[in-house]
Amino acid sequence: MTIEIKQHEAAKPIPLNETFEAVDWQEGQPLFAKRIKIFPKRVKGLFRTIKWWFLGVLLGIYYLLPWVRWDRGEFAPDQAVLFDIASRRFYFFDIEIWPQEIIYLVGILAGAAMGLFFVTSLIGRAWCAFGCPQTVWTDLFMFIERRIEGDRNQRIKLDKGSWTFKKIRKRVIKHALWLVVSAGTGGAWAFYFMDAPTLASGLMHLHAPTAAWITVGLLTAMTYVMAGFAREQVCTYMCPYSRFQSAMMDKETWMVSYKADRGEARGKHKRGTTWDNRGHCVDCTQCVAVCPMGIDIRNGMQMECINCGLCADACNNVMSRLDLPSGLIGYDSLSNVERRSRGEAEKPFTLLRVRTFMYLAALSIVASFLVSSFMLRKDVGLSVIRDRNPVFVMLSNGDIRDGYTVKILNKSRSQRTYQLEILGLSDPMLEETGHNTGFQPSLQLTVAPDEVEDFRIYVRQHNSDLHTTQTEVVFRLLDKNGDEAIREGTQFIGPEK
């Protein structure tokens, strides 16, 4: 099946295949489309309310989170969420991620991707409509624009009008407010990487680090340009996700669509006249006027549509004024469109299908891995690197000595002393170089709180007790109670046997 979509009024329709992928560029179709200015009209309704809620909650979290304090003890930062670049840590409330544990961040990103794929396969571009930063900030900028310059018709008039004092005043106020929001956005981003109150004071008194100024400057410029000017162009031309997310959808995915079987044949309607032999669409174009992407949903599913539902709100308001049932535009699946065209009953929304089940299964696997590895997470880390040169040394008494670098990671907030011993050799003796410890069956190694420390360790073994050239051994640390804290395998190398 082929669905016709429009890319802009200047462009010819691009055919989509059954999974909503653009089939190909067609001869004669322009490669460049000049931007058509969009002046979305204000609308009230369910989807608009949901969008306001998402905007309020998401922006609230973004701006306020760096100011939340979290007591972690004397030597740790008290910011609840902090990417501490200087000490290479990520703090999230009680969780502290070390660079060695980057796998957790990878897991969180993989889980978020799976969650996104799952939602997209269910209800299309819900992320684009409600959660994407581009949408959220564009909505905020449009709100400011509407407060200063008025609703759609006033903005169109102002835009087309000459540069009077009134126009200049409105434009200056609008851009000044946009810049304030942009600077706040850039500042808030930098607060996630440095202690927020300290950085805020540094920025106010002009003694913040250069990196902070660059970050704030870049994010300010980016927010101003993306939300103030680029807007829907980002979703249509820049965002890679908008291009490949159709691969997650199928005929059962619910997306905002126009019920052509109910709406057509469209046309103006005079109050009091019959609705027989015509559709419910009165061709008022309110659905087009409110669309932030500037498209007409009645032309079918289109690549630009972000599924925000504002056209549904506008149409529902029209339907209510005409005493007609709502839902001429609303969430619907392609398979229901086909069923209705065949005169069959609609199928209710199905949550679990092969596709959604697969995404849910992948999400569950990633989530269980994250939860279980977090529950089993230790506050000590150990890595052992065997010396490559020399591989071993034969001592004057005939014993064999291998050298190792042992790294111990103490993730706790207190100094810890661990007992290091080695398993797999019959009578191993250990020495910490440079500390005159002499060779002992085990060593006591002390590590400062929240630190990684390197120890140079020699291991000695009687040559006669070695039965192979390469013996598998295990280094293990015992805590102060004598319980095993962690272990790491390596080899003890001796002469040819």
Sites of contact with ligand SF4 (CB under 6 A):
256, 258, 263, 281-287, 291, 293, 295, 297-298, 305-311, 314-315, 318, 328-329
In angstroms, the Cα distances linking 109 to 106, 178, 295, 352, 491 are 5, 31, 33, 23, 36
Which residues 6+ apart lie within 8 Å of 209 measured at CB?
A: 194, 202
Give 217 or 267: the residue with its C-beta nearer to ligand SF4: 267
Phi-psi sector, 90: left (phi>0), alpha (psi -120 to 50), beta: beta
Give 315 or 420: the residue with its C-beta nearer to ligand SF4: 315
Q: Which tokens sit at 178?
A: 């946009």
**Smallest gap from residue 296 Cβ to ligand SF4 (A):** 7
Give 14 or 318: the residue with its C-beta nearer to ligand SF4: 318
Give 305 or 334: the residue with its C-beta nearer to ligand SF4: 305
Give 314 or 429: the residue with its C-beta nearer to ligand SF4: 314
**C-alpha span between 394 and 1 (Å, rounded):** 77
Which residues 6+ apart lie within 8 Å of 304 measured at CB?
A: 7, 232, 235, 236, 293, 294, 295
Q: Which tokens sit at 104?
A: 């957790």
**Smallest gap from residue 110 Cβ to ligand SF4 (A):** 29
Give 306 or 422: the residue with its C-beta nearer to ligand SF4: 306
What residues pair up with 92 in beta bridges, in sequence order?
81, 95
Give 173 or 324: the residue with its C-beta nearer to ligand SF4: 324
Phi-psi sector, 476: left (phi>0), alpha (psi -120 to 50), beta: beta
**Smallest gap from residue 326 Cβ to ligand SF4 (A):** 10
**Smallest gap from residue 20 Cβ to ligand SF4 (A):** 14
**C-alpha span between 49 and 275 (Å, rounded):** 31
DSSP type of residue 161: S
- At 368, is the secondary structure helix, strand, or coil? helix
Give 320 or 470: the residue with its C-beta nearer to ligand SF4: 320
Give 66 or 309: the residue with its C-beta nearer to ligand SF4: 309
**Smallest gap from residue 41 Cβ to ligand SF4 (A):** 10
Give 265 or 385: the residue with its C-beta nearer to ligand SF4: 265
**Smallest gap from residue 175 Cβ to ligand SF4 (A):** 26
The continuous run of DSSP H or E covering 382 comes out as strand 380-386
**Smallest gap from residue 255 Cβ to ligand SF4 (A):** 8
Burial 378-403 (b: 16+ CB within 10 A, else e): eebbbbbebbeeeebeeeeeebbbbb
Residue 250 · residue 17 · CB < 8 Å? no
**Smallest gap from residue 22 Cβ to ligand SF4 (A):** 17
**Smallest gap from residue 61 Cβ to ligand SF4 (A):** 24
DSSP string across 258-280 = E-HHHHPSP----TTS--TTS-S
Cβ atoms < 10 Å from Cβ of 306: 26
**Smallest gap from residue 208 Cβ to ligand SF4 (A):** 40
**C-alpha span between 29 and 24 (Å, rounded):** 11
